[in-house]
Amino acid sequence: MTRSPYDLTMPKRRLTGVVFASPHSGRDYPAGFLETSILDEHSIRSSEDAFIDQLLDGVTSFGAPLLTARAPRAYVDVNRAADEMDPALFEGVRIAVHNPRVASGLGVIPRVVAGGRAIYRGKLPMSEAATRIEQVWHPYHDCLRRLLDDARASFGQSILIDLHSMPHEAMDSIASSGVKRPEIVLGDRFGSAAAPEIVDRIEAAFEAAGFRTQRNAPFAGAYITQTYGRPSRGMHAVQIEMDRSLYMNEREIRPNGNFLGFKRILTGILAEIAEIGRGKPSTIPLAAE
DSSP notation for the chain: --S-SEEEE--SS---SEEEEESS------HHHHHH-SS-TTGGGGGS-TTHHHHTTTGGGGT--EEEE-S-TTT--TTS-TT---TTTBTT----S--HHHHTT-SSS-SEEGGGEES-SS-B-HHHHHHHIIIIIHHHHHHHHHHHHHHHHHHS-EEEEEEEEE-GGGGHHHHHTTSPPPSEEEESTTTTSS-HHHHHHHHHHHHHTT--EEESSS----HHHHHH-BGGGTEEEEEEEEEGGGTEETTTTEE-TTHHHHHHHHHHHHHHHHHHTTS-GGGSPPPP-
pLDDT at position 288 over 60? no
Say what the pLDDT of residue 280 is.
57
pLDDT band at 285 (very low <50, low <70, confident <90, very high): very low
Q: How far is Cα 120 from Cα 104, in angstroms, rounded to an integer?
A: 15
Nearest to 253 by CA among 98, 49, 104: 49
pLDDT at position 55 over 50? yes
Say what the pLDDT of residue 95 is.
67
Reported pTM: 0.93
Say what the pLDDT of residue 286 is.
35
Q: Tens digits of per-residue pLDDT, 111-146?
A: 999 999 999 999 999 999 999 999 999 999 999 999
CA distance readout (Å), 186 to 27, 59, 156, 224, 244: 24, 19, 23, 14, 15
* Cα-Cα end-to-end distance for the chain: 37
**Contact by Cβ (8 Å): 48, 26:** yes
pLDDT at position 155 over 60? yes
Q: How far is Cα 166 from Cα 48, in angstroms, rounded to an integer?
A: 10
pLDDT at position 96 over 70? no
Decide the pairing of beta strands 158-166 and 235-243.
Answer: parallel
pLDDT at position 177 over 70? yes
Say what the pLDDT of residue 2 is.
58
pLDDT at position 264 over 60? yes
**Contact by Cβ (8 Å): 283, 227:** no
pLDDT band at 171 (very low <50, low <70, confident <90, very high): confident
Say what the pLDDT of residue 279 is.
63
Say what the pLDDT of residue 1 is.
55
**Percent of the chain residues past pLDDT 90, beyond the cut:** 88
Q: How far is Cα 244 from Cα 251, in angstroms, rounded to an integer?
A: 11
Query: What mean pLDDT, rounded, does the chain reach?
Result: 93
**Percent of the chain residues past pLDDT 70, beyond the cut:** 94
